[in-house]
């Protein structure tokens, strides 16, 4: 029997107080995610239970019990306090998936500071816009990533500390730099927890905007309530599970379900800090006896591509429950999963802004391959008629996915951008930016984005940000960036580029531009295809009409071109 039991029965008597009661929280109490993920589990008598089993790309292993992560987060928190980090200060985690990332996240929260995780593959420009917008006080990083921060240090007056967790002492530290070794630091047992309350800020994740720079999605400690309960009812995390969330904590899945949900439930989780490889992943599942696996459609499609024979070479019998997140999971992947693992991947739908799974397939509920599932109990999700900003009276029509904005882990605002936050609402509904239709039984079926944002391998990329960066390349005069279909990543970035006089299209220039964007922004934002064109479609007022280029890439109708400049 799954934790959720009957979905329909849960709908009838739902209250978030179920999670509050299980966590021993009452409104008005202190609620600190760092404490709930460590000290509370120890107080429940599970201090000796493995919390984190980490494996690096070379097979190196590190193991931490719940008492170990309690001590480590205390130690990191104490170190940060010693540097003068105060409650509310933003502390960025800019690391690979090493233990210090997970433990640092908890330590930051324990002192009341705000954890700002950033994907370690970000280039210096991506890093700069996010650190400057957040006015980040400290960055915790590894020596391999420190050079990217050093490049922009002079432009970041608020950044007081660059903390390097693996400094070996050979190279001298530079201005504002400080070394911290978790292994060498004296463990701190007695710790003065900062008494955060429900609405105290906790985590700041950046997400791509349609027209502007990335937006800082601000969450609060009360998000724990949603993350705990969805971890229990959707991921069906159990006390004896060995859990593997493949997401990087640079993104929200990696914190909500790669740190907060499993640790607050006292589950043992494994982390594999290595790049993707089908055989390596199967070996990891077999070796670690993974029972609950939370991954992404791009990875699942890549595993499909690697073939069924590879699966058969490994013992997958430990797998009990599988779930997926990041982009729509195509029905073929669900059917394939059933065939090779004997169980389907359960698709889950949510966003950085929602903080937790909001629409999902559930254990015990019929999985309709290709469907997003149904709203989590306590969450009201509808398909809005875009013309009226009201839910369609009957199912079947494609409209806008909208949510009643009232669950615990919803974002509280965009950092320093209240106007962008207000624009997310229409007629009182929170607009996800996704389109969908409902079937007769209340299942949601994804139909695409409602804006120009590109979802590549589950990560959102802003065309605006890529276009802005392209203009900094010496050869680029103008650019337009759209998505193009991709069998593995769902969508990838494609750029249309016009060149400045004196430059000619060539294979070498194509590669040079690709690498320019990869280093400046990130590998995700790098155009996988560049098309050199003589001109771009524009309105008579000079605005580039991305939708025409998008329609061509997707084989769709171009639609109204009456405003086209050269029509």
Partner 1 sequence: MADELKDVILAYVTKEYLEDDSEPINYETPLISGGIVDSFSMVSLKRFLENKYNISIPDDKATPEAFDSVNKIAVLVREFAKA
Residue whose tokens read 């660059």: 162
Residues that contact partner 1, how many (by CB under 8 A): 34
Stretch that binds partner 1, among 108-116, 344-352, 513-521, 550-558 (CB under 8 A): 513-521
SS3 state at 88: coil
Q: Closer CB to partner 1, residue 122 or residue 464?
A: 122
SS3 state at 74: helix
User: Using CA atoms, how far apart are residues 388 and 384, in angstroms rounded to an integer?
Assistant: 8
Among 515, 540, 543, 556, binds partner 1 (CB under 8 A): 515
The mark string for 80-109 relative to partner 1 (x by CB under 8 A, - otherwise) is ----------------x-------------
Under the binding rule (CB under 8 A), the answer on residue 53 touching partner 1 is no
Under the binding rule (CB under 8 A), the answer on residue 171 touching partner 1 is yes
Task: Please count the helices (runs of H) and the strands (runs of E) in the chain.
Answer: 19, 28
For the chain, how far is it from start to end, CA to CA, in angstroms?
63
* DSSP element (H, E) containing 130: helix 124-134
Query: Which residues in 98-157 contact partner 1 (CB under 8 A)?
Result: 121, 143-145, 147-148
User: Using CA atoms, how far apart are residues 383 and 436, in angstroms rounded to an integer?
Assistant: 7
Q: Closer CB to partner 1, residue 372 or residue 517?
A: 517
Q: Closer CB to partner 1, residue 307 or residue 342?
A: 307
Q: What is the DSSP string of 154-174?
A: GG-TT--EEEETT--SSSPP-
Among 175, 240, 309, 508, binds partner 1 (CB under 8 A): 508
Under the binding rule (CB under 8 A), the answer on residue 523 touching partner 1 is yes
Least distance (Å) between residue 333 CB and partner 1: 17
Q: How many CB atoms lie within 10 A of CB 313?
A: 10
Q: Closer CB to partner 1, residue 306 or residue 447?
A: 306
Least distance (Å) between residue 492 CB and partner 1: 8
Which residues are registered as beta bridge partners of 446?
436
Among 279, 308, 439, 472, binds partner 1 (CB under 8 A): 279
User: Using CA atoms, how far apart are residues 162 and 396, in angstroms rounded to an integer?
Assistant: 53
Among 13, 58, 440, 566, binds partner 1 (CB under 8 A): 58
Among 10, 49, 176, 518, binds partner 1 (CB under 8 A): 518
Under the binding rule (CB under 8 A), the answer on residue 19 touching partner 1 is no
Under the binding rule (CB under 8 A), the answer on residue 12 touching partner 1 is no
Structural contact between residues 136 and 158, judged by C-beta atoms closer than 8 angstroms = yes
| Tokens of residue 237, six digits | 């995390």
Q: Closer CB to partner 1, residue 18 or residue 325?
A: 325
Stretch that binds partner 1, among 106-114, 207-215, 302-310, 414-422 (CB under 8 A): 302-310
Least distance (Å) between residue 506 CB and partner 1: 9
Among 132, 468, 528, 539, binds partner 1 (CB under 8 A): 528
Q: Tell me which DSSP letter residue 231 carries.
A: H
Least distance (Å) between residue 122 CB and partner 1: 12
Stretch that binds partner 1, among 7-15, 46-54, 84-92, 520-528 (CB under 8 A): 520-528
Least distance (Å) between residue 144 CB and partner 1: 6
Q: How many CB atoms lie within 10 A of CB 539?
A: 14
Strands 490-499 and 529-532: parallel
User: Using CA atoms, how far apart are residues 47 and 481, in angstroms rounded to an integer?
Assistant: 51
User: Using CA atoms, how far apart are residues 33 and 203, in angstroms rounded to an integer?
Assistant: 10
Cβ neighbors of 457 (< 8 A, separation 6 or more) are 296, 298, 326, 327, 488, 489, 490, 524
Least distance (Å) between residue 488 CB and partner 1: 8
Q: Where are the alpha helices (DSSP H) in 2-123?
A: 7-12, 17-23, 33-36, 39-41, 66-82, 99-110
Q: Where are the alpha helices (DSSP H) in 256-296?
A: 261-264, 278-288
Under the binding rule (CB under 8 A), the answer on residue 313 touching partner 1 is no
Q: Closer CB to partner 1, residue 145 or residue 221?
A: 145
The mark string for 446-475 relative to partner 1 (x by CB under 8 A, - otherwise) is ----------xx------------------
| Chain contacts with partner 1 (rule: CB under 8 A) | 57-58, 96, 121, 143-145, 147-148, 171, 273-280, 302, 305-306, 456-457, 507-508, 510-511, 514-515, 518, 523-524, 526, 528
């Amino acid at each position: 029997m799954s934790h959720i039991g009957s979905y329909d029965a849960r709908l009838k008597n739902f209250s978030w107080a179920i999670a509050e009661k299980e966590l021993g929280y009452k409104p008005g109490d202190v609620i600190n995610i760092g404490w709930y993920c460590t000290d509370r589990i120890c107080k429940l008598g599970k201090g000796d239970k493995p919390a984190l089993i980490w494996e690096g790309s070379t097979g190196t292993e590190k193991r931490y019990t719940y008492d170990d992560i309690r001590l480590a987060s205390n130690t990191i928190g104490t170190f940060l306090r010693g540097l003068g980090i105060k409650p509310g200060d933003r502390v960025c985690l800019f690391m690979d998936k090493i233990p210090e990332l997970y433990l640092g996240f908890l330590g930051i929260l324990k002192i009341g500071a705000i954890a700002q995780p950033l994907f370690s593959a970000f280039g210096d420009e991506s890093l700069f816009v996010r650190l400057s917008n957040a006015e980040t006080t400290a960055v915790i990083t590894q020596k391999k990533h420190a050079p990217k921060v050093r490049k922009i240090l002079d432009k970041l007056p608020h950044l007081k500390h660059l903390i390097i967790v693996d400094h070996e002492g050979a190279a001298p530290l530079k201005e504002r730099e400080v070394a911290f070794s978790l292994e060498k630091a004296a463990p701190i047992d007695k710790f003065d927890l900062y008494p955060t309350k429900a609405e105290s800020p906790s985590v700041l994740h950046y997400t791509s905007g349609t027209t502007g720079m990335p937006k800082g999605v601000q969450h609060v400690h009360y998000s724990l309530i949603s993350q705990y309960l969805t971890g229990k009812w959707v991921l069906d995390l159990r006390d004896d599970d060995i859990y593997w969330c493949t997401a990087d904590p640079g993104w929200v899945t990696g914190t909500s379900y790669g740190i907060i949900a499993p640790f607050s439930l006292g589950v043992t989780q494994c982390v594999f800090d290595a790049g993707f490889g089908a055989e390596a992943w199967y070996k990891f599942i077999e070796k670690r006896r993974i029972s609950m696996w939370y991954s992404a459609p791009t990875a699942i499609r890549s595993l499909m591509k690697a073939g069924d024979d590879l699966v058969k070479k490994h013992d997958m019998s430990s797998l009990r429950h599988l779930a997926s997140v990041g982009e729509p999971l195509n029905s073929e992947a669900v059917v394939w999963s059933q065939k090779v693992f004997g169980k389907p991947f359960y698709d889950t739908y949510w966003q950085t802004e929602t903080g937790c799974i909001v629409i999902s397939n559930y254990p015990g509920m019929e999985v309709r391959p290709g469907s997003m599932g149904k709203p989590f109990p306590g969450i009201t999700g509808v398909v809005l008629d875009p013309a009226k900003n009201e839910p369609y009276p009957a199912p079947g029509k494609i409209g806008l996915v909208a949510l009643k904005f009232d669950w615990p882990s919803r974002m509280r605002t965009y950092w320093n951008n209240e106007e962008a936050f207000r624009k997310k609402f229409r007629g009182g509904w929170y607009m996800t930016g996704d389109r969908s239709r409902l079937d007769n039984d209340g299942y949601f079926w994804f139909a695409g984005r409602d804006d120009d944002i590109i979802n590549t391998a589950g990560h959102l990329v802003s065309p605006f940000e890529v276009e802005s960066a392209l203009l900094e390349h010496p050869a680029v005069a103008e650019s337009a960036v759209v998505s193009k279909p991709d069998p593995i990543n769902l969508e990838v970035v494609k750029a249309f580029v016009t060149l400045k006089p004196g430059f000619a299209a060539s294979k070498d220039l194509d590669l040079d531009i690709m690498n320019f964007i990869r280093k400046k922004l990130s590998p995700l934002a790098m155009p996988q295809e560049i098309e050199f064109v003589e001109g771009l479609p524009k309105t008579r007022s000079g605005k580039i009409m991305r939708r025409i280029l998008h329609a061509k890439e997707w084989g769709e109708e171009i639609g109204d071109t009456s405003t086209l400049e050269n029509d």
